[in-house]
Amino acid sequence: MTRRDDSETARVGVVTVAFRSNAVLPDLLDSLERASEQPLELVVVDNLPGEGSLAGELAQQHGGHYVPLPDNPGYGGGMNAGVAALPASVEWVLLCNPDVVLLPGSVDALLAVATADERIAIVGPAIRNADETLYPSARSVPSLRTGIGHALFVTVWQSNPWTTRYRDERAPSGEQRDAGWLSGACVLVRRSVFDELGGFDDGYFMYFEDVDLGYRAGLAGYRNVFAPSATVIHTGAHATTTESARMVRVHHESARRFLLSKYRGWWLWPVRAGLSTALRVRAAWVVRRTR
């Protein structure tokens, strides 16, 4: 990574959360050196220290701080701990999965977009999968219509109109634009806004914490901007592949938490009850289907 000497103060911090990440974390940390021309402050949070984790050793090798957590608070909780460990000089925080590789200049490209408007709170790059296909990382905030349609049809009808609207796939993929939320796999966040919003809601163990953060940023009058001038590679959800049934349930529970929070008016209790039942039934169906 870009190292600091004693006279340098980093404006940008990088926080990643490790969880059985020995195989992928080195590639992320190696990519930091070419991702920016300015100094970066690195924090590696370990949600599963011990058990052969190399996160502390790798953080030290790359001039970073190591934060081992005694209990696993989930992705959002780990990120919150990492941001809290950054010095006050850091104005922008790159939050990224350990299985992301940053292409040269990507952090500087994100920062150039982020600093163009004080209302911009979160900026996300173009995220490419390992096979070079583009991941739909800039999406609309899920509503009842798009959320239900996407959930019902995405596995059997990929191009259905609800999924297309939710993934904002009608917009040109190569153009900078505002989005409802941006994938937490890799985002640059204004530190002051992150603190103002209270960081991630750590009630989400995994999934939807990025949806919730983008939604709350929008409600507070800030912008979430997709910036394809920056590109990263995401190799996949390595930490959850051996726990697919549990992660399906966690994903549906997180969706339930978000939608129930969004539609919280007392007069919407029938909607909340219907959503809760539908998501639990769908989770059970998906788990059975994947066995």
Return the amino acid letter for 4: R
- Which are the contacts of 216, defined by CB distance < 8 A and separation ≥ 6? 197
Distance CA 290, CA 288 (A): 6
> Which of 79, 105, 109 is closest to 14 using CA atoms?
79
What pLDDT was estimated at residue 264?
A: 78
182-207: average pLDDT:
95
The whole-model pTM stands at 0.84
Please answer whether residues 185 and 134 qualify as being in contact, where contact means their C-beta atoms are separated by less than 8 angstroms: no
Per-residue pLDDT of 77-102, as tens digits, reads 999 999 999 999 999 999 999 999 99
What pLDDT was estimated at residue 252?
A: 73
Positive or negative torsion for Cα 234, 239, 241, 246: negative
Q: Which residues pair with 102 in a beta bridge?
A: 232
> Which of 149, 177, 179, 152 is closest to 164 using CA atoms?
149
pLDDT over threshold 80, residue 173: no
Give the DSSP letter string of the chain: -----TT---SEEEEEEESS-TTTHHHHHHHHHHH-SS-EEEEEEESS-STT--HHHHHHHTT-EEEE-SS--HHHHHHHHHHHTS-TT--EEEEE-TTEEEPTTHHHHHHHHHTT-TTEEEEEEEEEETTSPEE--EEPPP-HHHHHHHHHHTTT-TT-HHHHHHTTTTS-TTS-EE-SEE-TTEEEEEHHHHHHTTSS-TT-SSSSHHHHHHHHHHHTT-EEEEEEEEEEEE---GGGGGGHHHHHHHHHHHHHHHHHHHT--GGGHHHHHHHHHHHHHHHHHHHHHH-
104-133: average pLDDT:
96
Which CATH code is given to the segment(s) 12-242?
3.90.550.10
pLDDT over threshold 90, residue 124: yes
pLDDT over threshold 50, residue 181: yes
181-207: average pLDDT:
95
3-state secondary structure of 278: helix
Distance CA 167, CA 160 (A): 11
Please answer whether residues 45 and 16 qualify as being in contact, where contact means their C-beta atoms are separated by less than 8 angstroms: yes
Distance CA 113, CA 122 (A): 10
33-37: average pLDDT:
96
Positive or negative torsion for Cα 253, 254, 258, 261: positive
What pLDDT was estimated at residue 160?
A: 57
Burial class (CB in 10 A: 0-12, 13-18, 19+), 273: exposed
Distance CA 151, CA 234 (A): 24
